[in-house]
Chains A and B, each alone.
Chain A
Amino acid sequence: MRIEVDWTRCDGHGMCALLLPENIGSDAGGYPVLHDRTVPRETMRHARRAVATCPALALRLERE
């Protein structure tokens, strides 16, 4: 699966960077910096939690 950000929704809360540091960092404004869009099976649980936690519903997982 691949992580996607809807930049029109993202408000830079920064939860995704805390919950999925394997894929996501954050910039000075708190907006996510995607290191790697591909989510391996081992961290899928973290990715799903990050998607569910995003207060702006800006994060989603898409089939590659």
Chain B
Amino acid sequence: MTALQAPATPTAYGSARLLAGVTHGGRAELALHRTLHGPQQHRTQGVLVSETATVRLLGRGGAAFPVSTKLAAMRTGSSVEVVVNGSESEPASHKDRTLMTVAPHLVIDGALVVARALGTRRVTIAVHDAAAHASLAQALQERRRLEPHPERVVVRLQQDRFVAGEVRALLNGLEGRAAVPPGRRTLPSDRGLHGAPTFASNAETFAQIALLVSLGVRGFTGVGDPREPGTTLLTVAGDVPVPGVVEVPTGLPLDALLRPDGVHGPVLVGGYHGRWIADTSGLRATRPLLREAGVPLNAGVIARLPEGGCALAEVAAVSSWLAAQSAGQCGPCLFGTHAVAQDVAALLRGRPAPDVTARLRGLVGRGACAHPDGTAAFVGSALASMTEELLVHAERGGCGRPYLGVLPLDGLHS
């Protein structure tokens, strides 16, 4: 397989904030981290709610939920749990594991800010990536030696199945149960880890909170789109000028990342639960804007396929992978994702798949988690934006171009 891997060194467009000091390689150990970002600071819950609201900070895991709303809903006290979701179980995404590997102290700073604001000492960081785990463990050792803190921070290496990264599945895994989503919808803020009120968010979210506390509201909002100020991490894959993890100011035109040459073709926005779009002109890397455009950024994966490869084969491969990732708990997801994958395989061979539209509709809203919905979005948008490819395949039984495996299917072990 020739999957395009994220290079070891991440890149920043404009000034690096999360990735300050590490865009030329290496890792920000505690002394460098303190030089770059200053001492650990704290905020009360009220101030943190107000500041995250002012800078319009949105969760960076996928749902883009306002951090201030989530913080404001939290009860406080010593039983509260803070969970850093660094699982990043999507193979195409590398931004969280990269961030935790090269700038672990920023994530820990943010987790400590939230823990202190909520009056608890209980912090769990859950990761699926061994290098990120090692870097965080080393960072905690540095702190024990140089900068002891009263909070008890535990780093846990978890299962790497796709749906295991969903927050409620993650909480199940942390409690020693199967890492699958529960059938009843419960909010972690009400009943999370070990039944305690839990503030859970994505690893980058915590790093952004640390930046906000370090830079202050004015400093934080100094770059980016006013609708979502600051910077964001993205993983850019495929036929692009700079593949891999990038930090960009929000509001950056996607075409600056994808196609300075202006050539168009389907682009995947938002990863394997995301959507394909035929024309990216006018789109900018701002979550509210992309949501309005119908292509939510989710966990920040953007991919452009090379013209020399078969686009439909990439979609078929990911469709099969998505079907295999169903936890098998919910019938419509288990049967539906497999049937859809077979439909895409048929279309790839130029055969008809008359039921695919109905099958895609049958995935929407019919599972314990968003996996069936995400799969329907990925496949449905691919078929809608690849009409030319589909025609060629239907007429000739294929396009003659090879499957390149640009979209990685097992990034965790590659």
Contacts and interface: CB of A to CB of B under 8 A. Distances in A.
A18 B183 CA distance: 23
Interface string A28-39: 010101100000
A54 interface: no
Contacts of B180: 8
A29 B336 CA distance: 10
A11 interface: yes
Contacts of A31: 331-332, 366
B182 interface: yes
B234 interface: no
A33 B358 CA distance: 12
A27 B330 contact: no
Counting chain A CB atoms within 10 Å of each CB, the highest count among B183, B329, B368 belongs to B183
Contacts of B366: 5, 7, 31
B333 interface: yes
Nearest to B355: A28
Given A9-B183, A31-B332, 13 more contacts: A6-B184, A7-B329, A7-B330, A7-B332, A7-B333, A8-B180, A8-B330, A10-B331, A12-B331, A27-B362, A31-B331, A33-B362, A58-B183
Contacts of B182: 8
B184 A7 contact: no
6 tightest A-B CB contacts, nearest first: A8-B183, A7-B330, A6-B183, A8-B329, A31-B331, A8-B368
A7 B362 contact: no
Interface of B: 180-184, 329-333, 335, 362, 365-368
A27 B333 CA distance: 13
A28 B43 CA distance: 55
A50 to B, nearest CB: 17
A34 B367 CA distance: 12
Given A27-B362, A33-B362, A7 B335 contact: no
Interface in A1-55: 5-12, 27, 29, 31, 33-34
B194 to A, nearest CB: 21
Most A CB contacts (10 A, CB to CB) among B180, B332, B333, B367 go to B332
A12 B331 CA distance: 8
Nearest to B329: A8
Contacts of B335: 29
A29 B332 CA distance: 8
Nearest to B333: A7
A31 B181 CA distance: 19
Given A7-B366, A33-B362, A27 B332 contact: yes
A29 B334 CA distance: 11
A27 B336 CA distance: 11
A7 to B, nearest CB: 4
Contact of A10 (B184, B330, B365): B330
A33 B330 CA distance: 13
Contacts of A11: 331
